[in-house]
Amino acid sequence: MIDAVGSAIRDHVQGFWPDRGARLRTWDRGKIVEAIPEFAVLEIAPEEEGKAWLYSSIGAWRVPVPGEHRLEFLSLTPREAEEAVENLAMVAAFHADERFRVRLGKVINIGRPWLAGSTCDHFLVSTPFLFGDEFEKVHADGVGVSIYWLLAITASEAAFAREHGGHALEHLIEENDADLLDPTRSAVV
């Protein structure tokens, strides 16, 4: 069940794509079940074939991070993907464990390909810069929430980001015009 903050997050994200089909998905396996029982994922279908599917967590905001905005996570995929729901549940559960808090610029080892057959097996936690400044922040019921993008990257890109920082990797991705929706894309480093 989605409460006032969850509803505001859903409405905020869906409001950027009001004419696209959307549905709430749940994940009932793994650590997320105990860490954030109210966890859900908003799945937004593309307007046309070949465009991005958008997945946004709803519920990770429940994890208190002293002195910081609460977080939600976003993933873009080239197709409808059950893995996207699982990935968001995994990252939210990871974030719920105070030993592994997620922050901007963090590199996360997924432990398997991002999507079946993908060369990308890590995430870089980034701002959702593709959607403009207004997309990242949501305020509801006295709670400030930042939505961060889980950018799928390769193992060599993850190593580069750990050494040189996430911004340096983002710059290389942009400079190389990397297709971030291509699960089998070549690494930029």
pLDDT per position as a tens digit, 20-54: 999 999 999 999 999 999 999 999 999 988 899 99
Helix (H, G, I), strand (E, B) or coil at 139: strand
- Please state the pTM of the whole predicted model: 0.95
Tokens of 140: 């509801």
For the chain, domain boundaries: 4-175
Q: What is the tens place of the pLDDT at every residue in 95-123?
A: 999 999 999 999 999 999 999 999 999 99
One DSSP character per residue, 91-123 reads HHHHHHSGGG---TT-EEE-SS-SSTT-S--EE
